[in-house]
Homo-oligomer: A and B are copies of this chain.
């Protein structure tokens, strides 16, 4: 084990949008696994919007990262050495490795990968984003055939799965995405019924008008993963009894303002909306059910997915920064 371990740490807390100097590439000896632990060589790790939230010192939000701590991420890789029951050298595994070339994790923190599907699917369509979509849609979206669902970041790994699951259940699915290319992808690859380019609409009123045209029966489920202009545009279109799973507010992660709280709160009241915050880490109990149901569908091509893989651990910060600005297409992955 003469290789050096490389990892990306949080250098300081970002002000607004993160910049490269908020991150630091650290080198050190490859750690040794203790009893019950496994050393993993990480081949790929995930980049997800939720990581931006963890970079803030958000008071009671216990999961904030400390300065100097390795950036959080799920990774996939190969076991180099195992002192945990059930794992052997060469096994393909996944766990919360962080942005790092190597990770030592307890056996209970790792899962062996299913050989029917590529390892990287464990980071996206069959990982946290896919599971988020599957679980929050059934628990908080409560879709019914004939209803209309609107989702932003629709070609991202959560959005693409939500759209395909809702479509399969007989809903009208409306994508919001940034640019022509992503709108085309939403329609052609992920089967959305309509797609709106939010870049073509400078304010919430203009976006709302465009949405109203493609949602003639109003909106029953607004899947919240962005906040900002999209939220302001959609709320007045909600139907009575509508549901709003809140899975992210990426538009506001770097700050940003909205004076629409009274209007949003009034919509919640008068439309009797059900708005539920959702963090997938609370729901791991249901993960085996998700894998059982969705792995064959992904293996069989029933569920489409798209990966956006960048080569090089050191490219993590710039790739993450670009992703937060919408520069990715599909599930963002770093090849270590």
Which of A264, A270, A276, A277 gathers most chain B CB within 10 Å? Answer: A277
The one of B60, B262, B264, B279 that contacts A256, using a Cβ cutoff of 8 Å? B262
B-contact bits for A212-238, CB 8 A (1 contact / 0 none):
000000000000100100010000100
Q: Which residues of B are found within 8 Å of A224, using beta-carbon distances?
A: 265
The stretch of A26-34, A156-164, A241-249, A310-318 in contact with B is A241-249
A265-B252 in contact given A259-B258, A259-B259, A270-B53 (Cβ < 8 Å): yes
In the complex, whether A275 has a CB less than 8 A from a CB of chain B is: yes
Report chain B residues within 8 Å CB of A256.
262
- Provided the pairs A256-B262, A262-B257, A275-B275 are in contact, do residues A61 and B227 lie with their beta carbons within 8 angstroms? no
Determine whether the beta carbon of B261 is less than 8 Å from that of A272: no
A274 / chain B contacts, CB cutoff of 8 Å? 274-277
Query: Of B58, B257, B265, which contacts A246 at CB under 8 A?
Result: B265
Asked if A195 is at the interface (CB within 8 A of a chain B CB), the reply is no
B282 touches A277 (CB 8 A): no
A257 to B275 alpha-carbon distance, docked (Å): 21
- Is A266 an interface position by the 8 A CB rule? yes
Query: Could you tell me if B268 and A246 are in contact, using CB atoms closer than 8 angstroms?
Result: yes
From A244, which residue of chain B is reached at the shortest CB distance? B275
Known A59-B236, A236-B59: A268·B277 in contact at CB below 8 Å = yes
Q: Does A287 belong to the interface (CB within 8 Å)?
A: no
CA of A266 to CA of B279, assembled, Å: 12
Q: Does A174 sit within 8 A of B, measured CB to CB?
A: no
Bound-complex Cα distance A328 to B248 (A): 41
What chain B residues lie within 8 Å of A270 (beta carbons)?
53, 58, 61, 277, 279
Contacts of A279 in B (CB 8 A): 269-270, 272
Partner of A227, one of B60, B257, B262: B262
8 Å CB contact of A272 from B260, B267, B271, B278: B278
- Who on chain B is nearest to A259 by CB? B259
Q: Which residues of B contact A236 (CB under 8 A)?
A: 59-60
Decide: B227 and A265 in contact? CB cutoff 8 A: yes
Looking at the assembled complex, report how far the CB atom of A30 sits from the nearest CB atom of chain B, in whole angstroms: 35
A277 vs B43: C-alpha distance when bound (angstroms): 46
Q: How far is the CB of A287 from chain B (nearest CB, A)?
A: 17
Q: A271-B277, A274-B276, A276-B274 given as contacts; is B282 within 8 A of A266 (CB)?
A: no
Q: Within A26-58, which residues are at the interface with B (CB < 8 Å)? A: 53, 58
Q: Sorted from nearest, which 7 A-B pairs have the closest CB atoms?
A: A258-B261, A252-B262, A275-B275, A261-B261, A268-B277, A272-B277, A269-B277
Extra contacts besides A257-B259, A274-B275 (12): CB < 8 Å = A53-B270, A59-B236, A231-B261, A249-B266, A256-B262, A261-B261, A269-B277, A271-B277, A272-B277, A272-B282, A274-B276, A275-B275
Give 10 A-B contacts (CB < 8 Å), ordered by A residue.
A246-B265, A258-B262, A268-B275, A269-B277, A269-B279, A270-B277, A273-B277, A274-B274, A274-B275, A274-B276
A residues touching B (Cβ–Cβ < 8 Å)?
Answer: 53, 58-61, 224, 227, 231, 236, 246-249, 252, 256-262, 264-279, 282
